[in-house]
Each structure stands twice: as C-alpha cells, then as structure tokens.
Amino acid sequence: MIYWLTYVVILCFCNDSPLLLYLRARLAMTSTPSFIIIAIDGGAASGKSSTSKILAERFNLLHVDTGSFYRHITHELLRRGVLPTNLAALTLALTELNFTTQLQGRSAQLMIGGQPADHEIRGQNVNEHVSHYAAIPAVRQKLLGYQRGQVAVAQQHGFRGLVMEGRDIGSVIFPAADYRFFLHADPIERAKRRAREGQLDSIAERDRLDSSRKASPLVSPTGAIAIDSTFLTLEQVVEKMAAMIEKKLS
C-alpha cells in the first residue's frame, strides 16, 4: 500500500509525468474557454501584421508572425554563406539551427541558437532573398512543427488563443483553424504602404515567387474569408474581422 501511495505521489509531482500532464490538460479544458486559432494569410504589405497585432490585443491572443521566422532563417543562412542553390549545404545547416521561442509582449519571437532576430531581417538584403529560401521544402519542413508548437506556447502563457499570419497558415499549418482570413489589396496601394514604411521591397516580385512555388504556395485557402483592404482603413478591416470573431464567440 505504502509502495503504491509513494508511486502515485512521485507520478503526480515529477514535472513531466504523464499523469501530471494529463491532469493539467483536463484542468485547462474545464477551467478556460476553448482555445481559438485565427489564421491570416495574404501577400506582402496586405495589412496582415497590423490587423493581427490589434486582434491579439483585443482577444488576448498570442501573435505569431511567421514571415519574421522565414526572414530570421534567411538572415542566418546568408550570414553563414549558405546559398539556396546549394541544397546539400543548406540541409546540413538546417540541422544545426536550434529553435526556441521568446515572448516580446504578445508576440512570439523565433530565437535561433538562443539569439533573437535583429533589425536586418527587415532590410533590403533579406527582402531580396527570403522568397528563394522560403520556396525550399526543407526550410518549410523545418518550420512546420515549430509553427504548430506555438499553440502550446500560447497555452503555457495563458493566452486565449493565437493569431498566426503568413502565406500558408489557413492552407497548410492550421487548415482547421476557427477563423481563416485572406487579405488582399491592390498592388499599387500595397507598394505605397511599403514606401510609407520607408522600406525598399519589391513586393510584386515576392508575391510572384510566393504564389508560383510548388511547396505551400501563397493561395487564398478554400473556405477562407477574403477581405479586400484597398479602400478600407486599418480600423475598418479590424472591425470586419472582429465582428465575425465576436459573433462566433458569443
């Protein structure tokens, strides 16, 4: 009897014990409202980041900008001199990249080898190269599990859900997300937005590469809610989305 009691106590208090994990999961399911996943896809400068950040704030969600992940990997591979054309070197380099997550406010930051991304991931060099690396299946595969793992990160930090933005979120990463939005806007308007941000970025070329690649291309996922933001303000886009989310939540 004493033996069994000791065994149960060890099972309960050992941090990674299956019993403790199970009990924690049951508790989370009964004590919190259901976890929600919002997927937002769209081309470059379509307004994904601004809307995602506001939705994250409004609904207590973890904000996950997957474009920043592709940018950070691109920056790291360029720093190591690994070209997208050298598949053998690239595959090896990918095995050496160790991913962890750090929160910055509500946003999940990808750390590579314990290092956060720096401002250069938004620079011209990364803008020019990122779509070439993102088209490589091994790169996408490396990020797949990490991106899905953000659900656990959000749960561990007490978020109500997550809002993830990118190119293949509603089609590949979370095809069963509670809400899937696809943002688009006239290319001239999008180019103006980038220029206002002071960025040199050939968004048309990135969109062309992202839409035409074989691996997880940029598409409006079947069944997603498409929103054209060309003639809408940021507030109007957010209100449209929030109204749909609130309707479903209430």
Residue 70 binds to ligand C5P (criterion: CB under 6 A): yes
Instruction: List, as one string, the DSSP characters of 119-177.
Output: GGGGSHHHHHHHHHHHT-HHHHHHHHHHHHTHHHHHHHTT-SEEEEEESSIIIII-TT-
Q: Considering the complex, state which of residue 103 and residue 209 has its C-beta at the smaller distance from ligand C5P.
A: 209
The stretch among 30-38, 161-169, 181-189, 190-198 that binds ligand C5P (CB under 6 A) is 161-169
Both tokens of 24, joined, read 């924690």
Q: Considering the complex, state which of residue 130 and residue 153 has its C-beta at the smaller distance from ligand C5P.
A: 130
Q: Which of 194, 82, 55, 191 is nearest to 136 (CA)?
A: 82
The stretch among 51-59, 65-73, 97-105, 221-229 that binds ligand C5P (CB under 6 A) is 65-73
| In the block, residue with structure tokens 């806007």 | 185
| From 56, 174, 206, 227, residue interacting with ligand C5P (rule: CB under 6 A) | 206
Size of the site for ligand C5P (CB under 6 A): 14
Residue 76 binds to ligand C5P (criterion: CB under 6 A): no
Give the Cα separation of 196 and 150 in Å (integer).
31
- Cβ atoms of 41 and 163 closer than 8 Å: no
Q: List interacting residues with ligand C5P (CB under 6 A).
A: 44, 66-67, 70-71, 130-131, 134, 166-169, 206, 210
